[in-house]
Structure 1
Amino acid sequence: MKKLPIGVSSLEKLIRENCYYVDKTYFVEKLVNSGSQFFLSRPRRFGKSLLVDTIKQAFLGNRELFKGLYLENNWDWEKKYPVIHIDFGGGVVQDAQDLKEWIIKQLKRHMITYNVSVEEQNNARFMFTDLIISLKEIYKNPVVVLVDEYDKPILDNIDDTERAIEIREVLKDFYSVLKASDQYLKLVFLTGVSRFSKVSIFSGLNQLQDITLSPAFATICGYTQSELETVFSDRLEGVDLEKLRYWYNGYSWLGDKVYNPFDILLFLSEKIFRPYWFETGTPTFLMEIILNNKVFLPKLEEIKASDEILANLDVDFLKIENLLFQSGYLTIKETKTLGLRTIYILTYPNFEVKMSFNNFFLSDILPVASDKEEVQNSIVEAIEENSLEKLKTALYSFFASIPNDWYRKNDLDSYEGFYASVVYALFTGSGLNTRSEDTTNLGKIDLTVLYQARAYIIEFKVVEKDSEGKALGQIKEKRYYEKYTDSCREINLIGIEFSREKRNIVYFEYETLER
């Protein structure tokens, strides 16, 4: 096993426990040769803290930690630099005052480590400035500043806009020191989950280079397919690599697709396919935003977003595309050029996220998790048995189990996309192969479910009270089934109509076409 820089992140612990380390140290050299101040956004549990600690140990001159790694013979180990490492990853900031105290405590810890004293010890901005200048003068080398999870204090309070703005202003004041201290700095590297706009939090820090969507740094965190098969070759014996790719690969930042390291290390430890990353926690405020904004859930399979939307997040201007992309629930599928603009096509990165996110949505609707599980089991059994009557019963039971009080609080039954979103989430969360708004030459199929050599083509309609009997007719009129006549031996056409008044299915008709 290669010796690791010492840190506290859970990912590092997993790496030590599994005795594997994917060598990313060549990116440290690339950073130094590319500029002096950088920002990187990646989702949680993606190795940001390990990367920061690797940079730290390199500048501290701890060559013995890099034995056998790229940087061992590609770094000037004679030069050592003072490093200020601020980490917001641990704990939850309660308010602006709590954040100020936390920053001051971390700065004082550095003063003790480097045996430095500054006059002002009650103002974070003054302390930070004096510490940087003092370290430069004492050690005769410029200072390296590393800030890990720079945005976590804001994200911890993003459901309270007023408090989040107050915390943002404290951070903005603190980070302003970096511009004024440029002449004393060797390298500045900040990481976080979100790409808050420079205007809101990095005002004036024009030299900060955002490498989040830089192809040159696309794989700085995460494991590529090649790295996975090379470094972990002895642990992959007997593993279905295609299934592993389907479950966990797919994150893209305009370069090779990568796996989340957290998923891979836990999978190799357990050898069981489970949503490891997703189970570490999804913020409830995210689902609240989806429900409050009446997001049509199937749309998440393909969302178009401009660079401006992806690059600029702010507390008082939250965009669902931005939040889902930056937090790792959506990734870049492809890019398109429209005139002088670049449009990003976003989608779920992999099966783990697609299935788990839809289950998370359903859990918000039903207070008892076992009810959801029971319905989903019935749906899978119905598809396996090819029993459309059983499928009809399962769907009807699910909508009947949603408490009336939930509708009253969320006012979603008047939202036409709600019913389709729920059915889509039920199928997708069950682990079935689904295609939302499946494109044909005559229009779009609301939902296609593929199982073995069978296709289920589903059309949704929402009526005010009673059935209008039009859903199945539309499938036949538009001949949606023709898309699958060559690839499937059996095609099931299913028309479903929901009543706003009755809050349930009032029409479920089907026909089967066999080749």
Structure 2
Amino acid sequence: ELANAQAMTYEETCAKLKEYYDGYHFAENTIGIYNPFSLLNTFKYNKFSNYWFETGTPTYLVELLKRSHYNLERMANEETSADVLNSIYADSSNPIPVIYQSGYLTIKSYDERFGIYQLGFPNLEVEEGFVRYLMPFYTNVNKIESPFEIQNFVREIELGQPDAFLRRLQSFFADTPYELVRQLELHYQNVLFIVFKLVGLYTQVEYHTNM
């Protein structure tokens, strides 16, 4: 039924379900787990969407990332130990335990020799939803305008308009809050990560759709 509604084959539908909602690992060397909430809603509405994020994302996670001056690029390939993953301290400067235990990061691999876990986004739903959620907190673009700004970025790339793309990108750096001045370089890095991550996700989806 879902495959028919999306004009996809059974195999394509299974692959997309896996890409969007699978990938949760709560221990090393385990089979990936699907997000049941998102999976059930996908079957209910016969539509792929970021259902988990529609229930709301705690702003305290974003505030924790900003307060700890965390480099967002590390989220896609974070390395840590079991002691860190299993600890949550209110005064901790490391946001990873909270982000991990909230389900936004999951175990990707484990180095048994050194006892080091490699973390990353579990699936496309979490990656796209979380990065998109971050944009209003790191730029002067509000939540309502964010999807349209990313759409414009993608169109400017596809139409070969680099000057327009760069002008729009510069506007994202405008009105930087005073408290961020001392962390200006990291702030710019995080804005660039958010923009290029989202642009990459949407152009990748478009590429796969047109194959």
TM over 0.5: yes
Which of 105, 108, 121 pairs up with 1:348?
A: 121
Distance in 1, matches of 2:149 and 2:202, equals: 17
Task: Work out whether 1:264 is the aligned partner of 2:33.
Answer: no
Distance in 2, matches of 1:417 and 1:280, equals: 30
1:179 aligns with: none
Matches within 5 A, 1:499-514: none
Matches within 5 A, 1:17-416: 238=8, 240-253=13-26, 254=28, 255-317=30-92, 319-338=94-113, 341-365=114-138, 366=140, 368-400=142-174, 403-404=175-176, 407-408=177-178, 410-412=179-181, 414-416=183-185
Contact 1:356 1:429 in 2 (8 A): no
- The structure with the largest alpha-carbon Rg is 1
Could you tell me how far 1:244 is from its partner in structure 2?
1.9
Distance in 1, matches of 2:148 and 2:126, equals: 21
Could you tell me how far 1:451 is from its partner in structure 2?
7.8
Distance in 2, matches of 1:371 and 1:399, equals: 16
Matches within 5 A, 1:414-433: 414-430=183-199, 432=201
Could you tell me how far 1:317 is from its partner in structure 2?
3.5
Could you tell me how far 1:303 is from its partner in structure 2?
0.5
What amino acid does structure 2 have at the position aligned with 1:324? I
Could you tell me how far 1:318 is from its partner in structure 2?
6.0
Could you tell me how far 1:421 is from its partner in structure 2?
1.4
Distance in 2, matches of 1:305 and 1:298, equals: 15
Matches within 5 A, 1:396-475: 396-400=170-174, 403-404=175-176, 407-408=177-178, 410-412=179-181, 414-430=183-199, 432=201, 452=207
Distance in 2, matches of 1:244 and 1:368, equals: 30
TM-score with structure 2 length normalisation?
Answer: 0.82
Distance in 2, matches of 1:450 and 1:265, equals: 22
Contact 1:355 1:430 in 2 (8 A): no
Distance in 2, matches of 1:413 and 1:429, equals: 26
2:112 alignment partner, SS class: strand
> Higher RCO, 1 or 2 (CA under 8 Å, sep at least 6)?
2
1:290 alignment partner, SS class: helix
Change (3 A) 1:277 1:287: same
1:346 alignment partner, SS class: strand
Could you tell me how far 1:290 is from its partner in structure 2?
0.6
Q: Larger strand proportion, structure 1 or 2?
A: 1
Distance in 2, matches of 1:415 and 1:334, equals: 33
Could you tell me how far 1:377 is from its partner in structure 2?
1.4
Distance in 1, matches of 2:37 and 2:94, equals: 27
Residues 147-201 of structure 1: CA distance to partner in whole angstroms, max 9, x if unpaired? xxxxxxxxxxxxxxxxxxxxxxxxxxxxxxxxxxxxxxxxxxxxxxxxxxxxxxx
Could you tell me how far 1:272 is from its partner in structure 2?
2.0
Change (3 A) 1:368 1:279: same
Q: Which sections of structure 2, spanning at least 5 residues, go unmatched?
A: none
2:17 alignment partner, SS class: helix
Indicate the percent of aligned positions where both proteins have the same amino acid.
29
Change (3 A) 1:380 1:362: same
Could you tell me how far 1:397 is from its partner in structure 2?
2.7
Distance in 1, matches of 2:48 and 2:61, equals: 25
Distance in 1, matches of 2:143 and 2:123, equals: 23
Change (3 A) 1:314 1:384: same
TM-score with structure 1 length normalisation?
Answer: 0.36
Q: Which sections of structure 1, spanning at least 5 residues, go unmatched?
A: 1-233, 435-448, 454-515
Distance in 2, matches of 1:354 and 1:281, equals: 15
What amino acid does structure 1 have at the position aligned with 2:46? K
Aligned-residue Cα RMSD (Å) equals 2.6
Contact 2:107 2:119 in 1 (8 A): yes
Q: Larger helix proportion, structure 1 or 2?
A: 2
Distance in 2, matches of 1:264 and 1:427, equals: 28
Number of corresponding residues:
199
Contact 1:383 1:391 in 2 (8 A): yes
Could you tell me how far 1:236 is from its partner in structure 2?
5.1
Distance in 1, matches of 2:103 and 2:181, equals: 26
